[in-house]
Amino acid sequence: MSQTMSQSLKNRKITVDILATLFGLGAWIGINGIYSQLPQLVFTAPEQWNLASHIVIVVQFANLGPILYTLYTKYSPWTRDHYIIYFLLASATIGTYYLSFNYKNISTIFNSQHSTSLMTIVFICAFVGCTSSVLFIPYMRNFREIYIVSCLVGEGLSGLLPNTIALLQGAGGDPWCNNSTKLNDTELKYEVLRTQPRFTTDTFLIINSILLLMSLMSFIGLNKLKIAKGERAKSQDTTDTRPTDTTPPLSYITNSKWNLSKKSYISLMFMTGIVCFLGHSTLPSIQTYACLPYGNVAYHLSVTLASMAVPLSMGMGFIQKESKSPKILAILTGLLVIVSIIIIYVATKSPNPPFQHTTFGTIFIVTLWFIVNGLIGYIKMNITTTFRSHPGKGLYHVGVATQVGSVIGAISTLTAMSRPGLFNEYSPCDMFIKH
């Protein structure tokens, strides 16, 4: 293994690796940072337990980004991808910093209260993430192939870093039920109390905006620094290429032989859709129902620790000699579906899921989320690296499959969650109120 790693690190510039990693970090860190705060936000936002599903729907509206980008590159006679990326990363940076002071803003829409500031910035950050699927990774084809994995690891870190900070922040402990009945009350009254985390959501969002600023600065470095220009696939002084063009320049055609059959090509796209159907839409929407009945600590650990599995699995790209075969990836995708079905089953059993109020229950649900996130990251990494040597639109098609799977998942989950009684909230006071 050490020999493989030594070979993979040979003839590469570590500085460019770092820049590419930090650039990839900016793809999803904005929206991942907000997701990592759900254990705190779900109790204060007017959407409460449905906050996660609302965010997923807003994220799907952000799929407008890839559509607009595709139309722009097709009909615009002048395209400079790096200017678009500058704008996207700057918007996410400013938006996240603004959110740190305004995430509690609420507006009344159609006689119901909504977290308008939060949802607005969610849309901006998700717009960056969705567009990155067809822009960021394909843009890295301007550079030598070895740096694509660095960018992918950075994308994985966009979940690890904010969730590590969330771990330091702490969950604040499990909620408990307090008897708030007063002397003159004619019936018993109860309220749910919670301890506070080590630092506030405001502070967390400011830290997240700093990480986004680092990503923006790193992308500027990729385009301006001499050491980065020397690692381009074609020596050039300006970034005037169009990585997602339907007829990419010869400099993008690698020396690797492309021998993947059409059947395998289609099956990998289908697997990408399944992975994103589950990982980008279905599972995040129901996470509150699958985890909160086990306690706020279990929910917090499921959100934070499980996200660490993504960069760990994507980091395997540094030591693997080659991508896994479509058959192996199909087996892993099947395993992902099985674990996801278990999680969905647990969510439908809320507010009384299996092993509730036990240490085993907490370990059980956190482990399930860790496994499912690890499989998602590993499968995505292998599919992306498989297509990195494709001389045409392989990476672009991966991005399209990503968005299609995500949209179908969001629509399906929204339909299921609108069914009364399928997903139910849990409160520690329920047992007292019912009796």
Query: Helix or strand or coil: residue 110?
Result: coil
What DSSP letter does each residue of 302-361 carry, written as one string? HHHHHHTHHHHHHGGGGT-SSPPPHHHHHHHHHHHHHHHHHHHHHHHTTTS-TTTTSHHH
Burial of 415 (0-12, 13-18, 19+ CB in 10 A): exposed
Give residue for tokens 């570590």: 14
DSSP label at 427? Answer: -
Amino acid at 38: L
Q: Does 345 score more than 80 pLDDT?
A: yes
Q: Confidence band (pLDDT; 50, 70, 90) for 176?
A: low
| Assigned CATH for 2-243+253-433 | 1.20.1250.20
Query: Residue 198 has which token pair?
Result: 């080590």
Domain ranges for the chain? 2-243+253-433
What confidence score (pLDDT) does residue 85 get? 92
Of the ranges 36-50, 185-199, 299-313, 332-346, the best mean pLDDT one: 332-346
Between the alpha carbon of residue 203 and those of residues 206, 215, 433, the distances in Å are 5, 19, 36
Give dist(CA 288, CA 427) in Å, integer: 12
Tell me which of 288 and 211 has the higher pLDDT.
211
In degrees and rounded to multiples of 5, residue 16 shows phi and psi of -70, -35
Give dist(CA 311, CA 317) in Å, integer: 10
What confidence score (pLDDT) does residue 253 get? 40
> Mean per-residue pLDDT for 53-72?
84
Per-residue pLDDT tens for 192-207? 667 777 888 899 999 9
Per-residue pLDDT tens for 208-256? 999 999 999 999 999 888 888 877 776 444 444 444 443 443 333 444 5
Query: Residue 156 has which token pair?
Result: 């994985």
CB-based contact 138:8 (threshold 8 Å):
no
Gyration radius (Cα) of the chain, Å: 22
What confidence score (pLDDT) does residue 184 get? 72
Tell me which of 284 and 422 has the higher pLDDT.
284
> Mean per-residue pLDDT for 123-129?
91
Between the alpha carbon of residue 224 and those of residues 143, 152, 218, 221, 236, the distances in Å are 13, 21, 10, 5, 11
Query: Helix or strand or coil: residue 37?
Result: coil
The whole-chain average pLDDT of the chain stands at: 80
Query: Helix or strand or coil: residue 399?
Result: helix
The length of the chain in residues reads 435
Query: Helix or strand or coil: residue 237?
Result: coil
Beta-carbon contacts of 399 under 8 Å, excluding residues fewer than 6 positions away, are: 66, 133, 134, 135, 137, 138
> Mean per-residue pLDDT for 169-184?
70
Q: Does 374 score more than 70 pLDDT?
A: yes
